[in-house]
């Protein structure tokens, strides 16, 4: 409704007239006006189903006595953006947040439903909601159908690894082309525990989305029912005068971090939770994140770190089964936007866990969380690796560096099959400023696995990795090379030590030699314009969440 809450006020005539012109009646404007923030588009499989869901949310809003008002925001697909396009994907997170905030503050909505799915859209919307602090609910599209062949189920990360398998002649051309055509089998989020599903299920864990919404197949009838429920519930939340911070706050963020760690989530969740906390006015450091995440064991793992995919996760009990298992570690007083508290939900819901998929606390897959946050003279401000996706034989690795100044250089090197076992591939100038945009080394990491080298070769970068990455892939090295971090001074043959148990990332070069190298080091020429130039000028380091507009 109008900003002053009274459509009879003469000063609101312009608002009423313009809303009349798009079809709203006077009596509609007397109801809570619910903004439906839709990230639908035709070129992102995770977001294509949102067009239909938005219509059902609208029905729910009308039925509950509200007036829906839909608008759209960008939603790039990380998979499609691989390579050059990836420079703009992490910047889009803050742009999405800022564009939503500007639209909502301009139009004065009373409550918001966020329709989202993929990697940067979920955290971008969470940042906007945190800054706006209005009644808010989230709903994701649901997951992609797996592709079945020869008694096996294949999903998106298998296609990345297929590149390496084809390159090493482990599969023939016909198989590669068949997989390329079929592995991305339908709409919905990629059926793996990458960033999209890590953050989508995070929404459930912190109480902002209906349980089961992220892991459910996009085509399930229950998804339609959820959309109608969300439309009705947001009107109730608006009438109750609830706020986003009633549901996402310090206690629920801690619950969310524990959930992500217990399920082997994406390393990108580290960046995003720090960014979301900052948008809420809270401070969450890399060390804070680590202190929380390592208090829980890993009780479940999914593609690509293990065989089960997201549909399997749903059938095994989904997020509720994980939260029920983690119950002793969680703050059960956390409120749920769909109603009640975490405790009342866990006490009353029919939750059944498949213990072959979701282990109990007595038989965890790993102790002390899924991440290793590393420090040392190569990463004075920290680095991140998903330990739960690394073979135990690679928990400690010492080897000679092979240095690259871009993702393209390391891709070419891998395609030429020049990699020597025992080496450490160093990819620098790919950080938030240096990239710019902190690109994901997703394809190179997938190729490494496909070539069978993930048990003998490590990667270290100031860029990121996809949530679909497994293997000894250390990312988020800070400070980044572009800012004069030690990574800039590594040379071919230098010995690098990685120890995931002792949390060490160390370069075996003395300080005097590093100082000499610093005097002559030159960073590559990367002239920029437009949004990339603006991003480089203002973005913070990975150790602060790579924040741009919400620093």
CA distance 206 to 248: 6
In contact, 147 and 185? CB cutoff 8 Å: yes
- Give exposure, 460-476, as e/b (b: 16+ Cβ within 10 Å): bbbbbbbbbbbbbbbbb
Tell me the three-class secondary structure of 444-495, residue by residue: HHHHHHHCCCCCCCEEEECCECCCCCCCCEEEEEECCHHHCCHHHHCCCCCE
**Extended beta strands in 277-377, E state:** 371-376
| Residue numbers annotated as active site | 466
Distances (CA, A) of 97 to 103, 158, 327: 10, 31, 32
Distances (CA, A) of 345 to 205, 242, 337: 12, 19, 12
Tell me whether strands 371-376 and 379-386 are parallel, antiparallel or unpaired. antiparallel
Q: Return the closest-CA partner of residue 160 out of 360, 432, 441.
A: 441
**How buried is 380 (Cβ within 10 angstroms: 0-12 exposed, 13-18 middle, 19+ buried)?**
middle
In contact, 226 and 139? CB cutoff 8 Å: yes
3-state secondary structure of 235: helix
CA distance 461 to 441: 8
In contact, 250 and 283? CB cutoff 8 Å: no
Radius of gyration of the chain (CA): 23
Cβ neighbours, 10 Å, residue 29: 17
In contact, 468 and 454? CB cutoff 8 Å: no
Tell me the three-class secondary structure of 364-380, residue by residue: CCECCCCEEEEEECCEE
């Amino acid at each position: 409704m109008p900003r002053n809450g009274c459509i009879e006020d003469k000063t609101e005539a312009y608002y009423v007239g313009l809303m009349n012109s798009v079809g709203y009646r006077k009596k509609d404007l007397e109801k809570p006006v619910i903004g439906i923030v839709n990230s639908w588009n035709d070129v992102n499989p995770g977001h294509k189903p949102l067009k239909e869901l938005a219509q059902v949310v609208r029905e729910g809003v009308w039925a509950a006595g509200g007036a829906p008002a839909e608008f759209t925001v960008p939603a790039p697909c990380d998979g499609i953006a691989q390579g050059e396009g990836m420079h703009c994907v992490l910047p889009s997170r803050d742009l999405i947040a800022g564009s939503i905030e500007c639209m909502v503050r301009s139009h004065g909505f009373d409550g918001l439903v966020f329709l989202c799915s993929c990697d940067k859209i979920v955290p971008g919307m969470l940042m906007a909601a945190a800054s706006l602090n209005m009644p808010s609910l989230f709903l994701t599209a649901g997951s992609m159908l797996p592709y079945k062949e020869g008694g096996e189920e294949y999903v998106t990360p298998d296609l990345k690894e297929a590149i390496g398998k084809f390159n090493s002649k482990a599969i023939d051309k016909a198989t590669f082309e068949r997989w390329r055509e079929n592995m991305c089998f339908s709409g919905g989020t990629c059926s793996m525990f990458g960033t999209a599903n890590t953050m989508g299920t995070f929404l459930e864990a912190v109480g902002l989305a209906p349980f089961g919404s992220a892991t459910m197949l996009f085509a399930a009838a229950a998804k339609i029912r959820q959309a109608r429920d969300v439309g009705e519930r947001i009107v109730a939340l608006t009438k109750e005068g609830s706020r986003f911070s009633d549901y996402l706050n310090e206690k629920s963020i801690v619950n969310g971090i524990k959930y992500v760690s217990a399920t082997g989530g994406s390393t990108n969740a580290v960046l995003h939770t720090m960014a979301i906390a900052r948008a809420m006015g809270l401070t969450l450091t890399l060390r804070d994140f680590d202190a929380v995440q390592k208090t829980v064991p890993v009780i479940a793992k999914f593609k690509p770190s293990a065989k089960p995919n997201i549909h399997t996760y749903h059938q095994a009990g989904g997020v509720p089964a994980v939260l029920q298992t983690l119950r002793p570690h969680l703050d059960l007083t956390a409120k749920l936007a769909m109603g009640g508290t975490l405790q009342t939900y866990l006490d009353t819901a029919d939750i059944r866990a498949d213990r072959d998929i979701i282990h109990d606390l007595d038989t965890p897959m790993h102790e002390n969380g899924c991440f290793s946050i590393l420090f040392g003279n190569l990463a004075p401000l920290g680095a991140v690796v998903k330990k739960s996706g690394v073979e135990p034989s690679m928990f400690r690795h010492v080897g000679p560096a092979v240095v690259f100044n871009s993702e393209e250089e390391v891709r070419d090197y891998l395609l030429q099959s020049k990699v020597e076992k025992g080496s450490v591939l160093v990819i620098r100038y790919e950080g938030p400023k240096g990239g710019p945009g902190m690109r994901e080394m997703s394809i190179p990491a997938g190729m490494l696995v496909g070539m069978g080298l993930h048990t003998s070769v490590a990667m270290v970068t100031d860029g990121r990795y996809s949530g679909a990455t497994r293997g000894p892939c250390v990312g988020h090295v800070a400070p980044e090379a572009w800012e004069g971090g030690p990574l800039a001074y590594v040379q071919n043959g230098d010995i690098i030590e990685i120890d995931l148990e002792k949390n060490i990332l160390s370069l075996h070069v003395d300080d005097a030699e590093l100082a000499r190298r610093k005097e002559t080091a030159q960073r590559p020429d990367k002239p920029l314009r437009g949004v990339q130039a603006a991003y480089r000028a203002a973005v913070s380091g990975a150790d602060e969440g790579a924040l741009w507009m919400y620093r």
